[in-house]
């Protein structure tokens, strides 16, 4: 459902947000290690997330990536839209091209329901909610 880049972006945001509790700013090398992504790839993702205001960064000896209280309220939807665009809202599950109620693919009706649930989850789940689950050990970023 999500691109590999988007999966890394969600993991990165959750890790950065999880460090707010400890008042820590984290660097790209540490983030990449924690989410299982190469540093150059992680840096590129973080650059885009910072540009869009999903995370913040500060340069210098005490610098790194962090989130503000306001950014903790950001729905995960914003990460997905930043990295993957609106494809989750429009892409055909089978990749047959434009897919709609009038020209459905074989799984359109079933996938339409799944898509609606996924979109609702992305809209209603904040970065902060996912970071709490991670900090409480309810979820993991890598296996």
- Position 43 scores a pLDDT of 95
15 contacts: CB under 8 Å, gap ≥ 6: 26, 31, 34, 35, 134, 141
Backbone angles phi, psi at 126, to 5 degrees: -95, 165
pLDDT digits (tens, 9 = 90+) for 50-81: 999 999 999 988 899 999 999 999 999 999 99
Task: Fold for 4-135, please state it.
Answer: Arc Repressor Mutant, subunit A (1.10.10)
Of 40, 63, 64, 1, residue with least CA distance to 10:
1
Tokens standing for residue 95: 């990749």
Query: Quick one: average pLDDT of 4-18?
Result: 96
Residue of 36, 126, 35 lying closest to 76 (CA atoms): 126
Average pLDDT for 33-50:
95
Chain centroid to CA 17:
12
Phi, psi values for residue 58, rounded to 5°: -140, 135
Q: Say what the pTM is.
A: 0.91
């Amino acid at each position: 459902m999500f691109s590999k880049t988007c999966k890394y972006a969600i993991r990165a945001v959750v890790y950065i947000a999880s460090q707010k509790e400890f008042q820590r700013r984290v660097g790209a090398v540490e983030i990449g290690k924690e989410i299982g992504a190469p540093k150059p790839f992680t840096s590129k993702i973080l650059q885009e997330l910072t540009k869009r205001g999903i995370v913040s960064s500060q340069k210098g000896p005490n610098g790194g990536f962090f989130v503000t209280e306001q950014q903790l309220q950001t729905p995960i939807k914003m990460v997905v839209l930043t990295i993957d665009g609106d494809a989750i809202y429009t892409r055909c599950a089978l990749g047959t091209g434009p897919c709609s109620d009038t020209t459905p693919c074989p799984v359109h009706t079933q996938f339409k329901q799944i898509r609606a649930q996924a979109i609702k989850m992305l809209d209603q789940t904040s970065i902060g909610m996912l970071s709490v689950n991670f900090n409480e050990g309810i979820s993991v970023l890598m296996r």
